[in-house]
A and B are shown apart, each in its own frame.
Chain A
């Protein structure tokens, strides 16, 4: 097989956005991907609103419950409960090919075309300098890449109270319409705005990677309330939209059914050892450079294996996450608009009064399209009474998802262990200190007190366990000392000439803001820098510009 300029491993949020500047620069890029797809449910879902489908589609049980009834949850509250049957392809085959051992950390990985971002909540939360304080890059380094990615993926939002924390976005479209429950909360916020802001609580319409207008052939968002089930009008961003655009370039090649096992640096570049899943054969592919974008855990697995670093502990991070069902009293006796989207309606940032660098991010969702039976399961009343009660209460029901920041400690580690059958396994140990737990409880208490003032009364707090946010990071951090597993500020893997990291593994710490948009911007930065190096010939000579 011929040598290409760059091999990109993975087609998720990081992979496609790292590949884009390389392809745009005219370089020959090959993307290696396992590439699972939903071949089952997508075609069953008609372009109709959720309520219309509920009233008219005799086949709705196939996608709402699943042909194997995989949508009926009988276990404890699951990680990734929003992964509905049409989204379950995202984590398919991972237990078999990406084994993980952990009793303290729940892992969701992906071997899907488009990766974990195929089920992304689409929140766009750019980091500021304070968020990047532990990284050797700052907001200014990322600013042009935030702009480039925002234009590529399509971002909607408004210039509300969150603007100072998220910054400008020149290509931003108007916000999606918020639903009746969101409107009630937002109205109450505007009445109490000064007092809440003084208490460190800032609320606004969620900035979303969703097109409210026609943009690059996608959208406008049809407000069908089907965002957890389908990608209507392709309005909400999924990495496969960028992959489709990449496939139109002659200098881009996509190879699916490939599982990258390890790499070696060779004169003139990198040799990548790949298992072809279709025929079980091993392949060796050569490239001038390699970009790892297999997800933080996936890339770390391949890197540690390639560098022979079995049993070596590296950090692991994930935003601690709590979700809180609430009763929105503002909706008491109020009519509900049917036209709505299912993503986060409102986002709040709540700052600690004593320490402005510490904050939590909370997102308010309305509960409707995930169906009543999932709530009925959680109720201690009889099913028939729960059904009647929840049906009455449904317009008032909301979910507040609270994310906290995360920093490395010696008790949050990941190791690659050699397996007895030749297949190695990730082992994750994740234990929070008492101080971290206490700080989170205090932060949650504070943010929920503010939401109470907006009429959102918590019913109970649910902690789905560590790892539940599916925002993994920090395992091969930027700025790690040479000789340590990590990378430099250009995300070049320590000890290598031409291997780059483009996903969440490079962030030394993560703020409460969701990471995905920043992963994309950083991937674009990595791809842009690598394209320059490859074009100038600097990389071929083994030196940096």
Chain B
């Protein structure tokens, strides 16, 4: 997904910070459920910021967030690497906030509610999900080293 697509909303009226948060919401939402969140979900994400994250981001955290805003496809990799190397991080907290917002929205409920699978289906899905998770960590670590410095 291109950055241009993510920032297609009316941006003239938005200040720089709100615009940045909007880009974050779009990037995180797309990473989590495979499509951009609705305007309402974006607004909830923006409204959550002063409550959940009242402190300013460190320069490193800001660099990571800026990279995610610019390259939404990198979100899952940076998140995976950060989960292994330093889980208490602003990027992961912000993605978790978006996760909570999406989980409690009826439109995305099916992404979070369990389904009945046969033993074989479950095994196959677990295998694939585990493989993907490990791959993301392996690819994410060098990317994090580059972006974080």
A407: Cβ under 8 A from any B Cβ: no
Choose among B113, B116, B126 the residue that contacts A54 (Cβ–Cβ < 8 A).
B113
Q: Scan residues 315-368 of chain A and give those whose CB is less than 8 A from a CB of chain B.
A: 332-336, 368
Note all chain B residues with C-beta closer than 8 A to A69: 48, 51-52, 97, 100
Min Cβ gap B10→A in Å is 24
Q: What per-residue 1/0 map shows which CB atoms of B36-76 lie under 8 Å from chain A?
A: 00000000100010011000000000000000000000001
B125: Cβ under 8 A from any A Cβ: yes
**Distance of A54 Cα from B126 Cα, bound (Å):** 24
Min Cβ gap B56→A in Å is 16
Count CB-based A-B contacts (< 8 Å).
125
B31: Cβ under 8 A from any A Cβ: yes
Q: Scan residues 400-433 of chain A and give those whose CB is less than 8 A from a CB of chain B.
A: none
B14: Cβ under 8 A from any A Cβ: no
- Contact A385 to B136, CB < 8 A, known contacts A60-B104, A72-B52: yes
Interface size in chain A (residues, C-beta < 8 A): 41
Interface pair A56/B79, CB less than 8 Å apart = no
**Distance of A303 Cα from B122 Cα, bound (Å):** 58
Interface pair B79/A384, CB less than 8 Å apart = yes
Q: What per-residue 1/0 map shows which CB atoms of A370-406 lie under 8 Å from chain B?
A: 0111001101111111011101111100000000000
Interface pair A384/B31, CB less than 8 Å apart = yes
B105: Cβ under 8 A from any A Cβ: yes
Chain B's interface size range is 35 or more
- Contact A72 to B96, CB < 8 A, known contacts A332-B119, A381-B83, A389-B130: yes
Interface pair A65/B92, CB less than 8 Å apart = no
Choose among B52, B79, B113 the residue that contacts A383 (Cβ–Cβ < 8 A).
B79
Provide a sorted-by-A list of 19 A–B residue pairs whose CB atoms are within 8 angstroms.
Answer: A54-B104, A54-B112, A55-B110, A60-B105, A61-B44, A61-B101, A65-B101, A74-B93, A333-B119, A371-B104, A373-B99, A380-B87, A382-B83, A382-B133, A383-B95, A387-B32, A388-B132, A392-B122, A392-B126
Please give 9 more A-B residue pairs, beta carbons under 8 A apart, in addition to A376-B96, A393-B126. Answer: A55-B106, A332-B119, A332-B122, A372-B99, A380-B84, A381-B83, A385-B132, A392-B114, A392-B126
Q: Which residues of A are at the interface with B, using a C-beta cutoff of 8 A?
A: 51, 54-58, 60-61, 64-65, 68-69, 71-72, 74, 332-336, 368, 371-373, 376-377, 379-385, 387-389, 391-395
